[in-house]
Every structure is written in C-alpha cells, then in structure tokens.
C-alpha cells in the first residue's frame, strides 16, 4: 500500500488531509506564510507523518541549508529531504555526505543526474547514507529520448521515462529493495499503475489531482490524464476553490489512489 500526500491550498488543507496518508511540507513557505506553518504544527500534534522538502522544485535551488536545518529542528518532521542539486550527481552526493543533523528525523536522499549512468552512480553513493531514497519525475534525459522514443507530450516522456528508469535500475541490481523509496511528483498520474507490484516504493507526493481540478481537468477514471496543468501548487496557496472544484479535487484524489493501489 503506497502512502500518498497531495499539497493543497490552505482553504482545502484539512479536507485533503482527511483523504491522504501523510503531509508534505515545502520549507520556503514556512517563512512566507504563518498559517501554512501552523498547519504543520497542528499536523505534528495530531501525530501525522510529515515529509519536509527543501523546496528545490519550487525555487530552482535548494533552500538555504542553515535555515533549513533550523526549521527541521523546530518542526522535527518524520522525514526531511537532504538538500540536493538539480541533475548534478556529484554535488548532490557531496551534499549528502556533508549533511549532519541529529537523528530525531529520518533522512531522504534524492537521486540526481543527467543520464542513466549518472543516476545509477548517484543512487549507489546515496542509498547507503540515507533512510529513504527519492526519485524525481522530470529528469531532462527522459525528454532527450535516452530511455523512450517519440511521445505526444513531455509529460508522457516523464511518465514512461521514470517507469523505465525504475525498472532498469531494478533489473540491473541497483535498487536496494530493503530500503523504502519515495517518488517525487508526476508527469501523468496513470504512471503509478506500474508500481503496484513494487513494495519498496513506500510513498508518493504530487499536487496533480488538486491542480488539475482547480484548472477544470477531470481524471478519466483509472486512465488518468493525457495532459497536465503546468502551474505549481505553491502559487495557488491562497486560492479559494468553488464547491465544484473541491468535489472535483476529491474525485481526482479517489482516482489517483485507485491507480496507485488498485
């Protein structure tokens, strides 16, 4: 059973909590929005599992390491993602080796690289250092066709690319099946149907069902979507959804869970 979290606007936060397995926090928003911070203080009090992200997807570079460590110590989340460097395997490995933090929270290391071989090397270096390994959805080499051929949209490349990457790493004996793994984001939601028989994939986070609903996009049941809204959820933090949009988001979430876990 995969654990699933969906980032959501503040007005929907509690309702989305009711239908998800844990909460996923973006550290840069702690500084910007007190209400957002308080949501996670409350989640911690409730005993909710929390993953704290270094906000690299949103900012382009990881949040300041010193401030990040301070927020980790303040919140004490279940998990935190070690600062990584987008598609830079060497810098990401160096960060993982240099990062030192007391063990009240468990560490997640993101695998980075510009090719399959770099990803493989980064994985082999990082996996022994961390409590959980994370794999992104949008490596550029998926688009370049190293793993798959021509496809309708870049989101199809991301979907089939990560699927192929994970199964290739598994076939090559790289994956540590005794260590939990996390999947960061998604291209298209139907990707996750491919992982129902991979128990080492423990957790998933994506705002896809929410953002799709806020853009009027309805999942086609287990077939998911054929395109993806490009807007990032954190830019919709203060969005006030209509009743219809909320119900559509809940429907999309139900479909997403069925895709992931059958």
Report pTM.
0.96
CB 108, CB 51: distance < 8 Å: yes
Distant-in-sequence, close-in-space partners of 163: CB < 8 Å, separation ≥ 6? 191, 194
pLDDT digits (tens, 9 = 90+) for 98-152: 998 767 899 999 999 999 999 999 999 999 999 999 999 999 999 876 566 678 8
Per-residue pLDDT, 104: 83
Per-residue pLDDT, 234: 87
Q: What percent of the chain has pLDDT over 90?
A: 88
Asked whether the CA dihedral 176, 181, 185, 189 is positive or negative, the reply is positive
pLDDT classification of 60: cutoffs 50, 70, 90: confident
Strands 132-135 and 106-111, how do they pair? Answer: parallel
C-alpha dihedral over 252, 153, 24, 131, to 10 degrees? 130
Taking residues 34-41, what's their average pLDDT? Answer: 98
Taking residues 224-250, what's their average pLDDT? Answer: 94
pLDDT digits (tens, 9 = 90+) for 42-52: 999 999 999 99
DSSP states along 54-101: --HHHHSSPPPHHHHHHHHHHH--SEEEPP--TT-HHHHHHHHHH---
Q: Does residue 19 surpass a pLDDT of 90?
A: yes
**Average pLDDT along the chain:** 95
Among 102, 104, 122, 103, which Cα is nearest to 112's? 122
Distant-in-sequence, close-in-space partners of 176: CB < 8 Å, separation ≥ 6? 127, 133, 200
Among 36, 42, 41, 6, which Cα is nearest to 21's? 6
- Tell me which fold the domain 3-261 belongs to: TIM Barrel (3.20.20)
CB 256, CB 183: distance < 8 Å: no
Q: Which residues pair with 108 in a beta bridge?
A: 81, 132
Q: Please tell me the distance from the alpha carbon of residue 131 to that of residue 162, in angstroms, as a whole number.
A: 21
Least confident of 23-27, 66-70, 101-105, 224-228: 101-105
Q: Does residue 32 surpass a pLDDT of 90?
A: yes
Element (H, E) at 167: helix 154-171
Among 247, 184, 219, 185, which Cα is nearest to 15's? 247
Q: Does residue 220 surpass a pLDDT of 90?
A: yes
């Amino acid at each position: 059973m995969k654990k699933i979290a969906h980032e959501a606007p503040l007005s929907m936060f509690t309702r989305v909590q009711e239908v998800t397995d844990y909460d996923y926090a973006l550290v840069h928003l702690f500084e910007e929005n007190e209400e957002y911070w308080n949501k996670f203080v409350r989640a911690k009090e409730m005993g909710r599992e929390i993953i704290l992200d270094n906000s690299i997807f949103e900012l382009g570079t990881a949040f300041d390491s010193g401030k990040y460590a301070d927020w980790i110590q303040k919140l004490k989340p279940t998990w935190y993602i070690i600062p990584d460097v987008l598609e830079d395997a060497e810098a990401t490995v160096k960060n993982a080796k240099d990062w030192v933090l007391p063990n009240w929270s468990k560490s997640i290391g993101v695998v980075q690289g510009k090719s399959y071989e770099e990803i493989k090397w980064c994985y082999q270096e990082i996996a022994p250092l961390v409590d959980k390994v994370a794999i992104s959805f949008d490596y550029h080499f998926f688009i370049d066709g190293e793993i798959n051929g021509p496809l309708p949209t870049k989101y199809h490349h991301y979907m089939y690319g990560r699927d192929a990457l994970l199964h290739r790493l598994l076939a090559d004996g790289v994956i540590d099946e005794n260590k939990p793994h996390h999947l960061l984001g998604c291209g298209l939601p139907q990707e996750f149907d491919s992982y129902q028989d991979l128990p080492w994939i423990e957790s998933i986070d994506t705002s896809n069902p929410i953002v799709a609903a806020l853009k009027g996009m309805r999942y086609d049941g287990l077939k998911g979507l054929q395109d993806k809204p490009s807007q990032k959820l954190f830019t919709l933090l203060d969005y006030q959804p209509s009743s219809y949009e909320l119900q559509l988001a809940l429907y999309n979430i139900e479909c997403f869970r069925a895709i992931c876990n059958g």
